[in-house]
Amino acid sequence: MLTAISIFFSIFIPRNILENKVKKWLMYAGSKDDERIWAGTRLFLSILTAIMGFLIPYSVIPLYNVLTNSEIYFEPQLRLILMFVFAILGFFATFALFYLHILYVIDGRKKMVESILPDFLFLVGNNLRSGMTPFYAFRSAIRPEFGPLSEEINIATKKSLGIQSFSDALKGLATRIDSKILSDTTKFFAQALHSGGKLAQLIETSANDIKQTNVLKKELVSSTRMYVLFIVFVVVVASPMLLAVSVQFLAILGSIQLETAEISGVGDAEISGQVGLTGAAISITPEFMKLMGQIIIVVNGLLASVFMGVIGGGKIRDGLKFAPVICIIGVVLFEILLSGIGLLIGGFI
């Protein structure tokens, strides 16, 4: 049933996207799923999320009012606008999560292959020095601990026994693993097979170069780790602390103004005008500042995760996976500090 639904929804996705994008992503991720079923299922779930977002003004908000004794109400025109806004946000947010997930799987597979590639090449070089042919040198180097690289090499060696030459089968690895290092290495080795030369020495030289590149990448990540920790401290600890102090300061200022107004006999209308920071029509309350503080922490968390991804790996999506954790910890710590500072200040007043 689900398969039929997925295939039906895949009709709405352009064929060139399925063939040129989705199919390639699944190959890079090592998945054997059909591209139509994969894309159709994601589109179906995104539409379901959009429907749930469309119903939020009629379901979640009334339930929130009942549980918290609130009175949140929207005019019909504004409610209709919110319904479409929540639906669009739900659809694109769900689709973006699926897109990021497949990219993270591809990147994880790529990083794993590039980390174990030097050891695999050293083993191939030793096999070549012992007198093995290139085909058996690669085949004998297959180990379970090499993970996806062993699986792809095994597929390539099987193809070379029948429909393809060994050099062409090695070049095909680049179509299943999104790694430029692996692609360049296989092309270089395939060219060396045709032109001749000391294959063992070439393989070991390539392995040393890749190993040095991996070491340089790790040193670069280590050199930027202090910047990342500083960013996390500012967003998770310093920013919630300052915002909590600001909210409590506004609450104390408001209570002092109210007490002063009661002593001097000022009316309620004049009191609301004094408490506001802008004028009698608009008043900045502690509740409003608390809401703005939560929004600021979430936005800062998103921006910090983007910056962490850029300075850490050069890709924004590398840092986006930390955004939910940073935002949740920041908001929770903000609530804890808000209560703690309130109790501390209340003990002195």
Locus of tokens 């085949």: 139
Tokens of 4: 């039929």
Residues contacting residue 88 through CB under 8 Å, at least 6 positions apart: 50, 53
Distances (CA, A) of 138 to 104, 126, 175, 257, 339: 28, 10, 18, 81, 63
**pLDDT of the residue at 133:** 82
**pLDDT of the residue at 277:** 46
Encode the chain (349 residues) as per-residue pLDDT tens digits.
778 888 888 888 888 888 888 888 888 888 888 888 999 999 999 999 999 888 887 777 777 777 767 666 777 788 888 889 989 999 999 989 999 999 999 988 888 888 888 888 888 888 888 888 888 888 888 888 888 888 888 888 887 776 677 777 877 777 888 888 888 888 888 787 777 667 888 888 888 988 888 888 888 777 778 888 888 898 888 999 988 888 888 878 777 777 776 676 555 545 444 444 444 444 677 778 888 888 899 999 999 888 888 887 778 888 888 888 999 999 999 989 888 887 776 654 5
Residues contacting residue 286 through CB under 8 Å, at least 6 positions apart: 247, 248, 250, 251, 254
Q: How far apart are CA 176 and CA 156, in angstroms?
A: 11
**Do 319 and 305 form a contact (C-beta atoms < 8 A)?**
yes
pTM passes above 0.85: no
DSSP E strand boundaries for 163-245: none
How far does Cα 159 stand from its chain's mean position?
A: 36
Q: DSSP string spanning 104-169?
A: HHHHHHHHHHHHHHHHHHHHHHHHHHTT--HHHHHHHT--GGGTHHHHHHHHHHHHHTTTS-HHHH
Q: How far apart are CA 117 and CA 203, in angstroms?
A: 11
